[in-house]
Structure 1
Amino acid sequence: MRGTTVLPGTPCAAPRAGDPPVHRLEVRLPDEVPFAAGTFDAVGPLSRAAFPHRHTFYEVVHVTAGTGTHVVDLARWELRPPHLAVIVPGQVHHWEDVRDLDGTVVLFTEDFLLDHPGDRELLRRLGERPWLTLDAPTHARTARLMAELAEEYGHGAAGFATVLRSLLRVLLVRTARLPGAVEPPAGRAGAVAEEFARLVARAGADRWAAARSVRECAGRIGVTPGHLTEAVRAATGRTPGALLREARTREAQRLLVGTELSIRQVADRVGFDDPAYFCRFFRRETGRSPGDFRKHHDRRVPSLEGDGVPA
């Protein structure tokens, strides 16, 4: 996918002024496969970045040692290894006060999943539960598989991309089997609900211009608003309107905590033309004003508009 990979040494980017830094996947050569695997040290310093940032790629992390906290959006996960973490494009994450962090990191873009298109939806659902604690047998099995991925990637022998895709497929399927990892969709209703979820996940890229309401989402999917509501409620137990509000609120929270954008700029980023209406919406959804929420979660770092952050 264009813009998701860069050559080594390319700095992080911010698509819009003030946004969290965006880390693109480094590939060794322009025609290399969009995949990387190895230890935290082998993958590079950004694999344990202490500043909030997003990815253009997927990241699966098998944490085998270390102390500290892994922060994904607003959820804080204390390190008590072994863990398996799944971070999807668009989520904001960083590592906080970590010491002796060890494990294996697997990075890949959506392009790498073209042979298995259903994996994109599986990854989205895994990203909703991004922190899993492993029992001893699962930890050992996961360690062997992650080591195989890193070894195959490191050797780069003939046909290695095919082997990597196959091993990655096994990793995703096994991860989905873990207790609490994903909730299975429910038939045709599940398919419509999945398409709705994909649409909402992509909405942030265009400032919610095409997904501000249930009617707009239904039109994009090609169903009536009533059918969309029934399908989403059957698959999730919730209404699409509630899920839309939750997603816009989550994105606003990410920007308030991870950037120095003004309240007006945050409102614009999540599709509100009127900052005052955004403030009322945010208070209704969270119980706090945007300003109070930012003060309560004041863990911001300088944006790329100032001195920047290391890349």
Structure 2
Amino acid sequence: MRDSTALPGTPCAVPRAGDPPMHRLEVRVSDRTPFAAGTFDTIGPLARASFPHRHTFHEIVHVTAGTGTHVVDLARWEIRPPHLGLVLPGQLHHWEDARGLDGSVVLFTDAFLLDHPGDRDLLRRLGERPWLSLDGPAHARTGRLMAELVEEYGHGADGFETVLRSLLHVLLVRAARLPGPDTAPAPGAPPPGRTAADAVAAEFARLLARTGSDGLPVRAYADRLGVSPGYLTEAVRAATGRTPGALLREARTREAQRLLARTELSIRQIAARTGFSDPAYFCRFFRRETGTSPGAFRKHHDRRAPSLEPAAPPA
């Protein structure tokens, strides 16, 4: 799925019931190049999607105007332009309460990085600090590059793929040079540091973003990281002031809230999806964490999108 593309107008890849939609990259019929560039307006309404979804492609955004929040996995980034943002394939993201959002968008799959295979490593490094605030000169340079990418893609003249790959390479190299104080504020992410404990806490944050709603115990994460549960607890507490268990409960609660608000899955199905074999225990857990029952939460936060997430039969 990482490199999948679709012709314009093709529906999103159908997700498993309750899973966020998976967006594929629309490509032009004439060349099918796995790349697209434009403004938020010309790319289409999904560029500003307010519902959680994943991509099969990379997305780079140069945000020049707007307010609200950009949410990537468990990280929440306040929109205070100008910014340069990156969403990697498979990451869950959406724009929350966005107003006046404007700028440029570049979309591409791994298959587009033929001329510069080292760009994959640049993307990986940028993914560790995916929301950068730009000063005046960096904003101007980024704006010029994004404008060239949009113009070259729009014209589609002879050799445009080579030009696009070269311009994208320059954009990634320059982005990697930018200072990165905007490190991910996701729960579990440590401040900059070089100790072994910091590295363990950072890796826990990455695992948490991918699997935090699966119901795995702290010991399972410690085993994956090759440390004891006690050491993991100390490292995460030092980095965040919170325990791994508290962060895992928060991740499960957020996923349960998303499923309740966005899907028509039954309580039993949502319990199973978030790692609970007993729906009654799930309801007690949810009430303890949120102060309300799953049914009451759904009643007051119903924003389901049945066209994207099909209804489930009653449990």
Q: TM-score, normalised by structure 2?
A: 0.73
Q: Which of the numbers 209, 214, 228 marks the counterpart of 1:201?
A: 209
For 2:37 and 2:21, the matched residues in 1 are separated by 22
Q: Which has the higher contact order (CA 8 A, sep 6+)?
A: 1
Report how far residue 97 of structure 1 moved: 8.3
Q: Which has the larger radius of gyration?
A: 2
Q: Which residue number in structure 2 is paired with residue 271 of structure 1?
A: 275
| Matching of residues 1-311 of structure 1 within 5 Å | 2-9=1-8, 10-28=10-28, 35-49=35-49, 52-65=52-65, 72=71, 82=82, 84-87=84-87, 89-94=90-95, 102-109=102-109, 115=118, 116-117=120-121, 119-120=123-124, 122-126=126-130, 139-151=139-151, 156-158=160-162, 160-161=164-165, 163-171=167-175, 173-174=177-178, 177=180, 183-203=191-211, 208=214, 212-304=216-308, 306=310
Cα offsets for 1:233-288 (capped at 9, x unmatched):
33333322222222222222222222222222222222111122222222222222
Letter in 2 for 1:104: S
Contact 2:64 2:81 in 1 (8 A): yes
Cα offsets for 1:144-191 (capped at 9, x unmatched):
2422443565563437435423412423553x6355766435432222
* SS in structure 2 of the partner of residue 105 of structure 1: strand
For 1:234 and 1:78, the matched residues in 2 are separated by 25
Contact 1:185 1:235 in 2 (8 A): no
Would the alpha carbon gap of residues 12 and 246 (structure 1) be closer, same or farther in structure 2, given more than 3 Å must change?
Answer: same
For 1:219 and 1:180, the matched residues in 2 are separated by 26
Letter in 2 for 1:300: R
For 2:176 and 2:35, the matched residues in 1 are separated by 15
Would the alpha carbon gap of residues 119 and 54 (structure 1) be closer, same or farther in structure 2, given more than 3 Å must change?
Answer: closer
* SS in structure 2 of the partner of residue 60 of structure 1: strand
Would the alpha carbon gap of residues 290 and 136 (structure 1) be closer, same or farther in structure 2, given more than 3 Å must change?
Answer: farther
Report how far residue 69 of structure 1 moved: 5.6
Q: RMSD of aligned C-alpha atoms?
A: 3.9
* SS in structure 2 of the partner of residue 158 of structure 1: helix
Letter in 1 for 2:6: L
Unmatched tracts of structure 2, length 5 or more: 186-190
Report how far residue 23 of structure 1 moved: 0.9
Report how far residue 82 of structure 1 moved: 4.8
* SS in structure 2 of the partner of residue 177 of structure 1: coil
* SS in structure 1 of the partner of residue 37 of structure 2: strand
Cα offsets for 1:191-222 (capped at 9, x unmatched):
22232222222227xx72xx611111111222
For 1:284 and 1:125, the matched residues in 2 are separated by 33
Letter in 2 for 1:240: P
Percent of residue pairs bearing the same amino acid type: 61
Contact 1:61 1:86 in 2 (8 A): yes
